[in-house]
Amino acid sequence: MHWLIDGYNLIRRDPALASREAESLEAGRVALCRLLGQAARSSGDRFTVVFDGRGAGGSGTGVAGVSVVFSSARETADRVLARLAMGGGAVVSNDREVRRAAGGAGAISVTADEFLGKLRSGAAGGTTPGPEGLAPRIPPYKDEEDETERRGPRKGNPRRLPRKQRAAARALGRLRPPKD
């Protein structure tokens, strides 16, 4: 699985990473890359972390299994993530527009909180099993703008998670908490 990470968004959602970022931006980025490097070793997945940059932007490698991309001054990290999502994989961000662009590109969309919950405790969004019995239940991502009026009854099994939530649960199920 190829994970596309909204770097600063993820750092600011985790108290340990945020405290490192309070020291310096570089310290926050290094701490995130180390955490993702541990996850890459335990899961075998690839991680690309995208940060807002300046100047011409650029890319490099953080640690084994982790690539780092800096956006240019003319382009935001959100746009870079949306572009990279066209290649598939799973996008990790709490930014509504990034998640919407990822879904539109056919990529799996996972919130930063779900991702961090899985990495930190081994359970994504809690330990309540989902209807399939195998995947963890992920709380729905609700937004007032996304609410639309439905015409007629909903079709399908009411006890089964929607397709996008099942895909996110499968992607999160691949991750294993890093071994300390």
Of 175 and 53, the one with more pLDDT: 53
Taking the C-alpha atoms of residue 62 and residue 64, their distance in angstroms, rounded to an integer, is 7
Q: Where are the beta strands (DSSP E) in 52-164?
A: 58-61, 66-70, 90-92, 108-110
Residue 56 — pLDDT band, cuts 50, 70, 90?
low
Look at residue 128 in the predicted model and tell me its pLDDT.
Answer: 35
152 is a domain residue: yes
Q: Specify if 180 maps to a domain.
A: no
- Least confident piece of the model among 9-18, 38-47, 50-59: 50-59
The answer to the question of residue 98 being in a domain is yes
What local confidence, expressed as pLDDT, does residue 150 receive? 56
In a domain, 40, yes or no: yes
Question: Does 35 fall in a domain?
Answer: yes
Average pLDDT, the chain: 78
Would 90 be classed as within a structural domain? yes
Backbone φ and ψ of 109, nearest 5°? -115, 125
- Domain membership flag for residue 179: no
Residue 6 lies in a domain: yes
DSSP β-bridge partners for residue 109: 91
Asked if residue 143 has pLDDT above 80, the reply is no
Averaged pLDDT for residues 48-74: 80
pTM here is: 0.70
3-state secondary structure of 49: strand
Number of structural domains in the chain = 1
Q: Which residue has the higher pLDDT, 10 or 164?
A: 10
Residue 167: domain span: 2-174
Report, as an integer, the average pLDDT of 46-62.
77
The backbone torsions φ and ψ at residue 52, rounded to the nearest 5 degrees and listed phi first, read: -65, 135
Least confident range from 101-110, 114-123, 171-180: namely: 171-180
- Residue length of the chain: 180
